[in-house]
Amino acid sequence: MHCLKCQRLIQNKSLLKWFFSWTPIEQENLCAVCRADFLSLKSESICSGCGRFQTTPELCSDCHEWQRKITGDLLKNRALYCYNQAMKDYFLNYKFHGNYQWRLFFQSAIAKEVGKFTHQGWLAVPIPISDQTWQQRGFNQVEGLLEKVSFKRLLKIKANSNKGVQSKRNRQQRLKMPQPFELNDKIQVNDKKILLIDDVYTTGRTLYHARSLMLAAGAANVKSLTLAR
């Protein structure tokens, strides 16, 4: 198998160990050199509110701001990787150039993390994209990452929400964005623990909009998981 990013042959090491583990072969899609560019985040060195990479686990200034704005607990977002240059390149290729194959890179890491929640009865809910983007891109980037996980499409984009791509707006414009989502089925949310899943946590605006909708429909608890922060 060749690395999908750099096209080099992936050396499969520790074959003997795998042989005695009696598990199926896990197909690697990314070589060790390319994978080392992505900085995975450990729980001791991230902000406990948004999962941002920092030296101490205290709340960052962004999260203090959110604490003033909302009622109830913060999202306690868990991000798997730091949004560094390698991650920016990844999203450029995967989302914007539309290389759907690249969804495979982080599927097992996400499946493992989501699994920890679903075992305790959490319901995975991906953030949707608009119909227009869906037609253009051909896929939902969040659902692409969740192929190995069972999830529920509870959210959808409102028909009259303002058009345009998020990444083209600056921070202030993003924070002023009105509620873009609505619920498909309110009954399913009632008294459930909801795990929102998105690709990147930037300002947190999108995820907090989804959270308020969930809480209004009677969700017991809302947390979030993103690939990058």
Partner 1 sequence: MQLEDFYGRLVKVAGQENVAYLPATAKKISAIEITGKYIICHRCNQKTNKQLAFLPNGNYYCPQCIQFGRLTSQDLLYTIAEPNRFPLQTAPLTWSGKLSALQQGCAVDLQLQTSRKKDFLLWAVTGAGKTEILFPTIAAALKRRERICIATPRIDVCNELYPRLSAAFKQTSMVLLHGSSSMDYRYSQIVICTTHQLLKFKNAFDLLIIDEADAFPFKGNRLLQTAVTNARKKISSLLLLTATPTSEMLRKVKQHQLKLGYLPLRFHGHLLPVPQIILLPSWKKQLQRQKLAQNIIRPLQKWLQAGWPVLVFAPQISLLELLKTSLKQFTTNQHLTTVFAADPHRIEKVQQMREESCQLLITTTILERGVTFPKLNVLVIGADEPVFTEEALVQIAGRAGRSSQRPVGEVIFACSMLNRNLSRAIRQIKFLNHEGAKLNNNALSKVPTSDTK
For position 92 contacting partner 1 by CB under 8 A, the verdict is no
Contacts of 17 (CB under 8 A, 6+ apart): none
Using CB under 8 A as the binding rule, whether residue 134 contacts partner 1 is answered as: yes
For residue 50, how many other CB atoms are within 10 A of its CB? Answer: 25
Which H/E stretch holds residue 110? helix 107-118
Of residues 29 and 203, the one with the C-beta less far from partner 1: 29
Is there binding between residue 135 and partner 1 (CB under 8 A)? Answer: yes
- Contact (CB, 8 A) for 154 and 125: yes
Residue (33 or 216) nearer to partner 1, CB: 33
Task: Report if residue 25 touches partner 1, rule: CB under 8 A.
Answer: no
Exactly one of 54, 101, 179, 190 binds partner 1 (CB under 8 A); that residue is 101
# residues contacting partner 1 (CB under 8 A): 12
> Which residue in the set 67, 109, 118, 139 belongs to the binding site for partner 1 (CB under 8 A)?
139
CA dist 6 and 146 (Å) reads: 24
* Residues 193/123, Cβ–Cβ less than 8 Å: yes
Report the residue number, 99 or 118, with the smaller CB distance to partner 1: 99
CA atoms of 163 and 95, how far apart (whole Å)? 18
Q: What is the C-alpha to C-alpha distance for residues 47 and 65, in angstroms, rounded to an integer?
A: 13
Q: How far apart are CA 11 and CA 9, in angstroms?
A: 6
Per CB under 8 A, the list member of 51, 126, 128, 144 interacting with partner 1 is: 144
Q: Contact between 173 and partner 1 (CB under 8 A)? A: no
Q: Does 140 bind partner 1 (CB under 8 A)?
A: yes
Residues near partner 1 (CB under 8 A): 97-101, 134-135, 138-140, 143-144
